[in-house]
Each structure stands twice: as structure tokens, then as C-alpha cells.
Structure 1
């Protein structure tokens, strides 16, 4: 039986391990953390936004760039760096901000998302794992008709791909989601996709790893940082560690941007990816809280119901290559959530149960890097940005030999 190694046990890595197990490989899953999904997948936004895989680089974001650089937009922070990689990434990001490139990038992501959705349903038929998964739909709240009309073209293109999308008035949307009655600001229109879902990515990874261990004999090694990719001539043959014996393989898949320094120089170029730091918190759901996933377009926040809890995520801090938790930025997230739904996040509700911050590696186009490496047997599945949870299975299918 051929052997495969997957580096990274987030949603991209666990999904890749799943696909390789199905393909008949003896798979070993590696991660430097002590358990699956302890990094970027741990407490992310939790929305499976199949109909909303919009690229980050866009004409609308480009128009906001002066305010972002002047720190007038609380949702975004951009710290300019005299780093060749950052400058190359930023230039390529600007190039991808045209209307044509935004549409092309978004529709490419949507095709991966459609496949990912189908694969998740297939997976759950065979592995009925519990991770608070629910097809609860999603709503985008637009503050003005103009802001919604700017997306009319891409909405129609998504409908042609097969997504069910409708534009509702506030009154129509509130019939479906009564929690909107507690939203204090004007809502000019709501884009609704009933097929979108939410679920806990960390629990998904943990449960799927357990299932793969039981059914396919998946091996795992945690608290293991790979020091080097081993190769003979032009073929990857395994990996080495600092304090344990090396592992051999026929196929090697790298799924975490933090491992890019392991790649051969031919597989790295200036501006391929850059980390974007986000924040989230999880709180007990108010009895009247939303049952539908919601994105507040004005505040750039996402709200995802997860069983008896509610996940709130947002902010995008770009520039620092080494991220750290910034208490004032987390406070911005809390204040923004309270402004959006004061009835659910007021002072009488108490502090959140869990807080999180993590860096997601983003490509200038938002399209993940899914391809063969320069060494035979080496595959890359990187750079999913904020869409890793949504794209995980569709992307992983493309790297399974």
C-alpha cells in the first residue's frame, strides 16, 4: 500500500487525509499542535458559505483602501511593511481588484464550494459525525440599495451556477429570521441563500480523524514540527523531525501556510500568500438570537448559530507576518457586535465563553494554491484564507492522486 503524509491537521489537512484514505493510501497526519484544528480552523467564523465565496480583492474594497490605510474602518487594519513578499502580495492584490478579476476569482471559488458541499453530504452519509452542523441558510444585510445593486451581476452569475439566491425586503427577511427585528440600523435589502450552513470546524476535524483512524487506520503524530522535506533527485520521499525518526512516503501534501518555508525554492514566489489575522468569540445564544447565519455587510461581521451557542467573527488585520492577540482589536469586535445586536450582546449577557484569534493565509486572488509541487509526489493545498472551512473538501479532492 502506498504511503501518504499530510502536514497540517486543520480543515484542509483533515479533508486531504480523508480523500487520501478513500483513495487507498496509508495516511499519516502531522501537526505541530497537540490536537486537530488547533490553529486557523479552531474557532473561525463557522459559516459554510457556499453561495458567498467572494474574493477579498474587489472594486468595493479598493474604494475603501484610503480609509483602511488611515485606520478609519474598524473592520480592517493594514500595516505597511518594507518586506518584498508583502509588497509583491499587495501589488498582486491590487491587480486582482478589478471588476473582471473579482468576478472570475469569485466564480472559480464558487465552483469549488459547490463541489465541497456535495462532498460533505456524501461524507456525512458514511461518517455521521456530530459537529452542530445545520443547513440554516444565510442572509447578507445590505445598508443601502446601492450597496446591494453593486453585486447584482455576480448574484446572477451565481444563480447560473446553481445557487438558490433571492433578494428580500427587510420585512420579508424578518418573517424568516425574527432576530432581524432587533437590528437597530436600516436594512435596504437582504440577499438570502437557504442552502448555506454552519458547523464547528474544530469538532468536525476531531470527529473525522477518529472515524478515519477506526475505518482506515489513519495514523497521527501531533506536537511534531517537520524540519525538512526529504527527497531523492526530483521525488519527495518523506520528512524529518528534530527529535524523532524520519517518516517515508510516496505522496506528501502540505496544507498549512506556516510550512511554506519547507518548500523547495521552485514552489515559492514573492507574494504567493500573506497572513490576515481575524478574531472571533463564542457566547451562549440569547433565546431570541438568530437561527440563520447572518453577515452584516456594513460592519463586516458574521454571526453563526451553533447549537445553543452563537459564534461571532470578523476583522481583517493585514501586514504583520508574526501575529499576536491584540486586546484592543478584540474589544473592537465586541463593540461592533453589540452595536449590531445590542439585545443579544449587552452588558447583562456577561462575557463571551471563548475568544480566539488566528492568521489565515490569503492569496492575492483569494483562490487557494492547489497543485503539484516541483518534486514528484509533492502536492500543495494552501492559501484558502477565510474560506478554508467552506472549500475544504472540494480543494482536497483536487490533490488526491
Structure 2
């Protein structure tokens, strides 16, 4: 039987392991953390935003760049680095910010997302795992008509792809989501997608790994950092560790940006990816809190209901190559959430139950890197950025198709 190793037990890695198990491989899932989904997938925004896979590089973000560099926008922190990789990534990011490239990148991501949604529904029919999954729809709150109208063209293109999207007034949106009465600022327009969902990615990974172990004999090895890729005659033969015996395989899939150092030089180019650090907190849901996922376009925050809890995520710190814990950014996140929904995050609600920060590797186009490596048997499934949860199964299916071909 064919042997496959997947490096990374976040949503991309677990989804890749799932696809390979279904394809008849004997799969071993590796991660340097002690359990699945302990890195970027641990406490991320939790929204499954199938209809809103917009590329990060965009004309609107380009227009905001001067304010970001001058630190006038609390949602972003950009620390410029004299690093050739960062400078190359930044230049390629700017090139992808044109209207044409933004549209092409977004529609490509939307196609992966649409397939990912269908695959999740198929998966849950066979593996009915519980992870507070709820198809609760999603709303984007726009402060001005102009800011919403900029998306008219891409909105129509998404409808042609099969997404159900409506433009609502504040009054119409409030009928669907009564919590909007507690939003203090003007809402000129709301884009609503009833088919979007939310769920806990960490619990999904943990439960799916357990299911794959039971049904397919998935093997796991945690708390082990891979030190190198073993190969012979230009073909992958396995991986090696510092403190454990090497493992053999015919197929190796790398799903974490942190593992790029393992790749042969032929598989690395300047500016392929750069980590963008995000933040979240999880709090007990107020009795009147939203039941629909919400994105506050003005504040660049997402709110995702998860059972009896509410996940709030946002902020993007760009520039540092390594994860850097910044406590005052959590203060910014909390203050911004309080400004958006004062009733839900007031002092009487108490502190958040959990806080999280993690680095997501983002490509200049926001499109994930899904391709064969320079060694036979080596495959890459990387760079999903903030969309890893949404794109996970669709991207995994693509890499499995490459392997099977």
C-alpha cells in the first residue's frame, strides 16, 4: 500500500490526510505541537466564509496603505523590514492589488470555497462529528453606500458562480439578525449570504483525526519537529527527526508555512509567502448576541457565534517574520469590539474566556500554493492565509488529485 506523510495537523493538513486516506494511502500525520490544530487553526475567526473569499491584495487596501504605514488604522500594523523576501512579497502584493488581478484572484478562491463547502457536507454525512457547526449565514456591514457599491461587479460574478447573495437595507437585515439594533453606527448597506457557516476548526480537526484513526488506521506523531526530507535519485523516501527514528514514505505533503525551510531551494522563491499575524478572543455569548456571522467592514472585525460562545477576530500585523506576542494588540481588539457592540462586551460581561494569536502564511495573490515539488513524491498545500478554514477541503482535494494523477 502507498505510504504518505502529511506535515502539519492544522485544517489544511488534516483535510489533506482525509483525502489521502480516502484515496487508499496509509497516512501518517505529523506535527511539532502536542495535538491537532494547536497553531494557526487553533482559535481563528471560525467563520466558513464561502461567499466572501476576497483576496487580501485589493484596490481598496491599496488606497488605505498610506494610513496603514502611518499607523492610523488600528486594524493593521505594518513593520517594514530590510529583508529581500519581505520586499519581494510586498512588491508582488502591490502588483496583485489592481482591479483585474483582485477580481481574478477572488473568483479563483471562490471556486475553491464553493467546492470546499460541498465536500464538508459530504464529509459530515459519513463522519457526523460535532464542532458547533451551524449554517447561520453571514452579513457584511457597510458604513456607506459607496463602500458597498465598489463590490457590485464582483458580487454579480459570485452570483454567477452559484453563491446566493443579497443586498439589504439595515431594516431588512435587522429582521434576520435582531442583534443589529445594538450596533451604534450607521449601516448604509448589508450584503447577506444565507449559506455561509461557522464552526470550531480546532474541534473539527481533533474529531476528524479520531474518526480517521478508527476508520482508516491514520497514524499520528506529535511533539516531533521534522528536521529534513530524505530522498534518493530525486525521489522522496521519507523524513528525519532529531530525536526519533526516520519515517519512510512514497508521498510527502507539506501544509505549513513554517515548514518551508525543509523544501529544496528549487521549491522556494523570494516573496512566495509571508506570515500575517492575527488575533482573536472567545467570550460567553450575551443573551441578545448575534446568531448570524457578522463582518464589520468599517472596523475589519468578524463575529462568529459558536454554541453558547462568541468568537471575535481581527487585526493584521505584517512585517515580522517570526511570531511576536503583542499584548496591547489584544487591548485594541477588545476596544474595537466594544465600540461595535457595547452591550455584548461591556465590563459586566467580564474578561474573555480565551485569547489567541497566530501567524497565517499569505501569498501575494491570496491563492494557496498547491503544486508538485521538485522531488518526485513531494507536494505542497500552503499559503491559505486567513482563508485556511474555508478553503481546507477544496484545497486538499486539489492536492490529492495531483497525487493521484
Can you list the C-alpha shifts for 1:86-106, whole angstroms capped at 9, x where unaligned?
A: 000000000000000000000
For 1:348 and 1:31, the matched residues in 2 are separated by 40
Q: TM-score, normalised by structure 2?
A: 0.99
The CA deviation at 1:316 is: 0.4
Look up the match of 1:249: 249
What SS is found at the alignment partner of 1:344? coil
What SS is found at the alignment partner of 1:345? coil
What SS is found at the alignment partner of 2:344? helix
Can you list the C-alpha shifts for 1:19-49, whole angstroms capped at 9, x where unaligned?
A: 0000000000000000000000000000000
Can you list the C-alpha shifts for 1:303-356, whole angstroms capped at 9, x where unaligned?
A: 000000000000000000112221111100000000000000001100000000
For 2:347 and 2:107, the matched residues in 1 are separated by 41
Can you list the C-alpha shifts for 1:353-390, whole angstroms capped at 9, x where unaligned?
A: 00000000000000000011011110000000000000
Report matched runs for 1:364-375 at 5 Å: 364-375=364-375
Can you list the C-alpha shifts for 1:89-148, whole angstroms capped at 9, x where unaligned?
A: 000000000000000000000000000000000000000000000000000000000000
For 1:325 and 1:128, the matched residues in 2 are separated by 36
For 1:243 and 1:78, the matched residues in 2 are separated by 38
What SS is found at the alignment partner of 2:367? coil
For 1:233 and 1:306, the matched residues in 2 are separated by 50
Report matched runs for 1:26-175 at 5 Å: 26-175=26-175
Where does structure 2 lack aligned partners over 5 or more consecutive residues?
401-405
What SS is found at the alignment partner of 1:315? strand
User: After the TM superposition, which of the residue ranges 228-237 and 189-198 deviates more from structure 2?
Assistant: 228-237
What SS is found at the alignment partner of 1:171? helix
For 2:143 and 2:235, the matched residues in 1 are separated by 54
Look up the match of 1:357: 357
The CA deviation at 1:151 is: 0.5
For 1:233 and 1:84, the matched residues in 2 are separated by 32
The CA deviation at 1:234 is: 1.1
Kindly report structure 1 stretches of 4+ aligned residues shifted beyond 6 Å.
Answer: none
The CA deviation at 1:233 is: 1.7
For 2:322 and 2:26, the matched residues in 1 are separated by 34
Pairs aligned (count): 400
RMSD: 0.3
Look up the match of 2:185: 185
For 1:379 and 1:71, the matched residues in 2 are separated by 39
For 2:248 and 2:323, the matched residues in 1 are separated by 33
Where does structure 1 lack aligned partners over 5 or more consecutive residues?
none
For 2:327 and 2:250, the matched residues in 1 are separated by 45
For 2:371 and 2:12, the matched residues in 1 are separated by 14
For 1:7 and 1:323, the matched residues in 2 are separated by 19
The CA deviation at 1:75 is: 0.1
Q: TM-score, normalised by structure 1?
A: 1.00
User: After the TM superposition, which of the residue ranges 377-386 and 321-330 deviates more from structure 2?
Assistant: 321-330
What SS is found at the alignment partner of 1:355? strand
The CA deviation at 1:229 is: 0.3
What SS is found at the alignment partner of 2:77? strand
The CA deviation at 1:257 is: 0.2
The CA deviation at 1:159 is: 0.2
The CA deviation at 1:185 is: 0.1
For 2:50 and 2:31, the matched residues in 1 are separated by 27
For 1:317 and 1:129, the matched residues in 2 are separated by 34
For 1:100 and 1:332, the matched residues in 2 are separated by 34
For 2:41 and 2:93, the matched residues in 1 are separated by 24
What SS is found at the alignment partner of 2:317? strand
1:239 maps onto 2:239 in alignment = yes
